[in-house]
Each structure stands twice: as structure tokens, then as C-alpha cells.
């Protein structure tokens, strides 16, 4: 799903105009982006949480030449899936859990 | 920041009522969740990608007792921030 598909969903399901839907989605993403840039963490219940992590600088190496290069401190984002979504994503993948439970099942082949 | 702050932004910027904003924001997040539940990935340009990954079962260890246990096969969600977001986070201008 792309951003445009998300926008199309809003148009179809909530009768927003194309412009309103675009503006809404952009506003949501921009406000989240602005918060993260300020160093704020975001927690959306059911979806997950975004944390800003500060990384210290360190001395790295150019793997090709072996020369030492200082890597500057930087910030990254860690995302932790919320409980509801984690369960929903995993439950939908239930068939992956065949091992040990029903060893007899493989006899039937692909049927 | 919580969902209430996101709703507030939509209310202010887009001009929807509080109620309408709340419902629309809820629908956006619900749509994302429904899509991910189906195992489909989501690409939000300028923000990042959410991808559902299949993990095979593997052996893990209870860190407290040292006992080996099998971690079952599962699906997990990962988020990769886009380069644009990473740059913004570090106060850099993006190429575009």
C-alpha cells in the first residue's frame, strides 16, 4: 500500500475530497515527523511507538582502504510494534506454526 | 506525542471539527493496521516503510535460567524510516 492508496481509501470510505484526503494524510505524517525531529517520542495506541535514539560518534574504518574515519553522533528511529498490532500481524500468519503440533499433517501432501 | 496530538494537528491544519478529525485519524491508523495484518507492506514516501517479515523458528534461551527454549516461527512488523526522515532527524537537508 502506498500513500496514494491510503488517500484513496479516505476518499472512498469517508467521502472526503481528494484534496482534503491528501491534506489529512500529509498533516498526520508531517506532525509525526516534526515531533520526532524535536526529539519527541510518539506513541500511537494499538499501532506502536516511535522512539528517537541518540547514537554516539565513534571511529569507523573505510573497509576498502582501512583508514580511520570518525563517524559523527547521529539520531535514529526505533519502532516498537504495539501489542494489538503485533498480535494481529502474527495471528494472521498462524499457518507458519505447523511444526511439532501436528506431525501427521504432512502425510496428506499439498492437499 | 500521542494520537490526541495528531488529531489536534489535523483539526488545526485541515480545518475539520474535533470529532471529524478524530474519526479520520482513526480511519488512517485502522487502514494501516488492516493492511499490515494482511501481510501487505506499506510505503509512505518521505516517512518510511512498514514491512511484515516472516521469522523462522529458532532456539533461544531463557536469560534467567539459561534453559534452551524454542522460539516459534512468527510474523513481525518492522519499520524502516526513509532517508528523508533520517536526514530531517539529523538536521540535514534532503537531496530533493
Q: A66-97 b/e with 16+ CB inside 10 Å = b?
A: eeeeeeeeebebebebbeebbebbbeebeebe
- Residues B42-70 have pLDDT tens digits of 999 999 999 999 999 999 999 999 999 99
User: Which of B38, B46, B89 lies nearest to residue A29, judging by beta carbons?
Assistant: B46
- Residues A47-80 have pLDDT tens digits of 999 999 999 999 999 999 999 999 999 999 999 9
CB contact under 8 A, A47 and B29: yes
* Size of chain A, expressed as the number of residues it contains: 111
Residues of B in contact with A50 (CB under 8 A): 79
Task: Measure the CA–CA gap between A25 and A22, rounded to whole angstroms.
Answer: 5
ipTM of predicted assembly, 2 dp: 0.88
The owner of cell 516461527 is: B73
Amino acid at each position: 500500500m502506498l500513500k496514494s492508496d491510503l488517500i484513496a481509501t479516505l476518499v472512498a470510505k469517508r467521502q472526503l475530497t481528494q484534496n482534503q484526503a491528501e491534506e489529512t494524510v500529509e498533516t498526520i505524517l508531517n506532525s509525526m515527523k516534526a515531533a520526532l525531529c524535536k526529539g519527541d517520542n510518539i506513541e500511537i495506541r494499538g499501532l506502536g511507538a516511535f522512539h528517537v535514539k541518540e547514537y554516539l560518534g565513534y571511529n569507523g574504518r573505510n573497509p576498502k582502504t582501512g583508514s580511520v574515519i570518525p563517524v559523527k553522533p547521529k539520531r535514529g528511529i526505533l519502532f516498537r510494534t504495539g501489542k494489538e498490532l503485533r498480535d494481529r500481524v502474527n495471528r494472521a500468519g498462524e499457518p507458519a506454526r505447523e511444526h511439532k503440533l501436528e506431525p501427521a499433517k504432512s502425510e496428506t501432501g499439498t492437499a | 506525542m500521542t494520537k490526541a496530538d495528531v488529531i489536534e494537528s489535523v483539526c488545526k491544519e485541515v480545518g475539520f471539527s474535533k470529532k471529524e478529525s478524530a474519526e479520520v485519524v482513526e480511519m488512517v491508523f485502522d487502514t494501516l493496521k488492516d493492511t499490515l495484518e494482511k501481510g501487505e507492506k506499506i510505503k509512505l514516501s518521505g516517512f518510511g516503510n512498514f514491512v511484515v517479515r516472516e521469522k523462522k523458528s529458532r532456539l533461544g534461551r531463557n536469560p534467567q535460567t539459561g534453559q534452551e527454549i524454542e522460539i516459534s516461527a512468527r510474523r513481525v512488523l518492522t519499520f524502516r524510516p526513509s532517508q528523508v526522515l533520517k536526514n530531517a532527524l539529523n538536521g540535514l537537508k534532503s537531496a530533493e
